[in-house]
Structure 1
Amino acid sequence: MCIGTKQKRLKNTKNSDNQEVTSVLDDNMLELIAKRLNVVSFCAFGAVCKRKNEICKRIKEDFQQSIAPLAMFTTKDDMMKTCYLFDMTNGKTMKVTLNNMDGNLLVGCTEGYIIFEKKGGKSVFLVNPLTGHQLPYSISSWIKRYSRPRHDHIIMATDLPSKSNVLLAVSNDVDGWCEYQIYHSGIDGWITDIPDTKDWMDVVVFKNRFYVVTNEAQLGELRIEQLYLKFNWLVVKNTPLNVDSENLKLVVGNNQLFMVDFLAEEYLDIYKIDFDAMEWIKVDDLGDQALFLGGELGSAMRKPGKWGCPSNCVYFIKDSPPRCCLYSMEAKMIDDYPIEGNPTSSDELCSLGWYYPDQCLKINYVESGIE
């Protein structure tokens, strides 16, 4: 009994000492600690108390830029039970088990969450592969598909003035019809179901609005104003002529909206839109930024110099063998990163695209109750 009491007394003293040390650390030291954490630990750090939460808010933008995208792969016969995240900055591969996602259909990625459509297409799940957190949504659609998801794009907006999350689901039908649906958490329901006759190649959220692009480089805008929707096709000068590309992507970076058309070893065309003049401007130099393209998980613009990697280029994921390839602004390969530490020797890996861990910080589900 005496030994047990002594152990308990020592444990309590240690906890008290740790709390005292933590309390005397100034904000600068706590900032240094927070910046060295991974995304999951950063979220936990900010949920400890009001002081640490304020520190995380203050450094969040800089912290996000320090987090490198991860190349995501799965095995062809795995049915999405597991995935593998490759970090090109250190060559390490991490295996992630996706609970309850066996046999579901992959749609894409939004705000750091992988999107799966349940069999039958009546619901979707947004899953954070690092934390396991899930966001389920019931969904309806008149478009019927077989052996592939009903929805080509599902994307979440988290920065709307209403402070509510909005989910946009887009279905491009094989007969040329496009259906889009909006789920608004402010009213806990779907508020529209409007068909259109043009296929959307890509969808992004930029400055509280959804933007879409067709294979002919036509740009559309969807606004959400007090639970009402307004969609229109924009008239933009200097739109590339004679474009018919399924590779067109919309990319948000450096507080700008880009349109990218890339085919490895063939061409790379980048344009940014000037909303004041309503015109596309050709971009030939990305400066300290780089494009991340490839797969089903979305595109992004990042500053890889923060991780010691080259900028002003394209990072593109390839299969057979799985690797991350670097392309110049002339679309020529200049380097590649083989997937080291392949966790499976007998199964063939296939690429899912880039996963962006920092984006999940936009979905804040830990702040309530902080004191």
Structure 2
Amino acid sequence: MDMSTRETSNQIHDDASSSMTIKTDDVVPWSYLNHDVISLVMMQLGVIDFLAFSGVCKSWRSVARSNWKTFMTSKPPMLMLILPVGNNDRQCWLVDSEGKEFRTIIPHSAGWGCVGLTCGYLILLRWKTYDFWLVNPITRHELHFPPAPCVSDYVSKITSVLFISPSMSKLVFVILASNQIWFSIENEGGWNFVSSTFDFTFKDLHVFKGRIYSVSNKGHFCELTLEPEPKLTLLKTKSLLDEDVSFRELVSWGENIYVRENLMAYKLDFCEMEWVPFQYTGDENEVAFFLSDLSHGAAAKPESWGSEPGRYVVFEGGGKGRFFIAVQWYFPHECLNVNLLHDA
């Protein structure tokens, strides 16, 4: 190899080495990544990793906030436990579908019991005074409502809904206890009674498409309106669930509302105003029902969620639908999804 050839070869090698060398001054921070790319990555995370993701930097936190509802809606229910961790505190322990854990302390929560769940808020009841404290374990947001006149030591079950009234521009908390319905408006104090002349027992409350509905032990379907005066209106259905059952619950997903009783479910056909038995067809994208001891279940689409032996029991087939059972569930898809109530 002559001198000119050697020089040319060396120059090519130097140029190639130079082109493959990355100067430290040219490294781009993670926060400078394209937001569309960040969003794609974020949507693949579990809820626990999402919380860590949102705390990396201001840019990532901004992406997380703008995609919060979309992300939470896409995630399956999480197992939940409320455990004492000291004389004054309780701990909320959430486990996602991948087995990852999130634990948060609820300070000064001794003397309070968790009696339900609404819009991602734990509903805590103080046993001595019967006032309510709503805490979102993920966002840490809190709401307080005064002692309710229908709650006592003898109340075995409390169901409730939380929503925003457009005319009041405030949050409204509605509870059903001792077969009485009361509601309290945020920061106004006191409770308002919803009178009724019906002689049946109300079993549940549910907000669906901006309306509040209730169902009775006999399957009567009612709509609750608060303005101009609080009242219950009976909605006539062609098929009435005649049998008196001890447990009946309203849940919804997408365009449908269901009434669930134990391991049976019925979907309401609003066009015909008829309750239709829900049949599970085996489609993995079909709606499933999640049962817990918190007097609050939910319907959701399991899609490709994997079951974990020992964590919950699955009943399916035989026309009963699919039911996931656990002591307590937490529903990310309801988190901060406070319904806007339609004007009456």
- Tell me the TM-score normalized by structure 2: 0.73
Specify the alignment match of 1:71 in structure 2.
79
Alignment of 1:133-212 (within 5 A): 133-141=141-149, 143=150, 145-146=152-153, 152-158=158-164, 163-172=169-178, 178-185=179-186, 188-190=188-190, 192-196=192-196, 197-212=199-214
Specify the alignment match of 1:309 in structure 2.
306
Larger Rg: 2
Moved more, 29-38 or 71-80: 71-80
Structure 1 contact 220–231 (Cα < 8 Å) conserved = yes
Specify the alignment match of 1:355 in structure 2.
330
For each residue in 1:176-196, what CA deviation from the matched residue of structure 2 results, as whole angstroms up to 9, or x when unmatched?
Answer: xx32222234x8355721344
Structure 1 vs Structure 2 CA RMSD = 4.1
Residues 274 and 60 (structure 1), Cα distance of their counterparts in 2 relative to 1, 3 Å cut: farther
Give the C-alpha shift of residue 98 in structure 1.
2.3
Q: Distance in 2 between matches of 1:333 and 1:279?
A: 18
Q: Distance in 1 between matches of 2:271 and 2:246?
A: 28
Specify the alignment match of 1:216 in structure 2.
218
Specify the alignment match of 1:254 in structure 2.
254
Q: Distance in 2 between matches of 1:215 and 1:125?
A: 28
Q: Distance in 2 between matches of 1:271 and 1:333?
A: 10
Give the C-alpha shift of residue 232 in structure 1.
1.1
Specify the alignment match of 2:37 in structure 1.
29
Residues 56 and 271 (structure 1), Cα distance of their counterparts in 2 relative to 1, 3 Å cut: same
Q: Distance in 1 between matches of 2:75 and 2:322?
A: 23
Residues 61 and 360 (structure 1), Cα distance of their counterparts in 2 relative to 1, 3 Å cut: closer
The yes-or-no answer on 1:269 pairing with 2:264 is yes
Q: Distance in 2 between matches of 1:208 and 1:336?
A: 27
Specify the alignment match of 1:115 in structure 2.
123
Structure 2 contact 135–141 (Cα < 8 Å) conserved = yes
Q: Distance in 1 between matches of 2:328 and 2:264?
A: 20
Look up the SS of the partner of 1:72 in the other structure: strand
Residues 128 and 35 (structure 1), Cα distance of their counterparts in 2 relative to 1, 3 Å cut: same
For each residue in 1:267-323, what CA deviation from the matched residue of structure 2 results, as whole angstroms up to 9, or x when unmatched?
Answer: x322111222221122212641211112115111112224x337xxxx9xxxxx973
Give the C-alpha shift of residue 354 in structure 1.
1.0
Residues 169 and 336 (structure 1), Cα distance of their counterparts in 2 relative to 1, 3 Å cut: closer
Give the C-alpha shift of residue 259 in structure 1.
0.7
Specify the alignment match of 1:86 in structure 2.
95
Q: Mark the runs of 5 or more structure 2 residues left unpaired by the alignment.
A: 1-23, 340-344
Q: Which protein, 1 or 2, shows the higher relative CO under an 8 Å CA cutoff with sep ≥ 6? A: 1
Look up the SS of the partner of 1:296 in the other structure: coil
Specify the alignment match of 2:10 in structure 1.
none
Residues 353 and 147 (structure 1), Cα distance of their counterparts in 2 relative to 1, 3 Å cut: same
Residues 299 and 102 (structure 1), Cα distance of their counterparts in 2 relative to 1, 3 Å cut: same
Q: Distance in 1 between matches of 2:277 and 2:319?
A: 15
Look up the SS of the partner of 1:309 in the other structure: coil
Q: Tell me the amino acid that sits aligned with residue 136 of structure 1.
A: H
Q: Tell me the amino acid that sits aligned with residue 281 of structure 1.
A: V
Give the C-alpha shift of residue 219 in structure 1.
1.3
Give the C-alpha shift of residue 333 in structure 1.
12
For each residue in 1:104-141, what CA deviation from the matched residue of structure 2 results, as whole angstroms up to 9, or x when unmatched?
Answer: 13220001111011133442001122343321122331
Q: Tell me the amino acid that sits aligned with residue 325 of structure 1.
A: V
Structure 1 contact 34–42 (Cα < 8 Å) conserved = no
Look up the SS of the partner of 1:239 in the other structure: coil
Give the C-alpha shift of residue 68 in structure 1.
1.9
Give the C-alpha shift of residue 41 in structure 1.
3.1
Would you say how many aligned residue pairs link Structure 1 and Structure 2? 307
Q: Distance in 1 between matches of 2:251 and 2:334?
A: 14
Q: Distance in 2 between matches of 1:42 and 1:222?
A: 40
Give the C-alpha shift of residue 355 in structure 1.
0.9
Q: Mark the runs of 5 or more structure 1 residues left unpaired by the alignment.
A: 1-12, 173-177, 263-267, 316-320, 338-350, 365-371
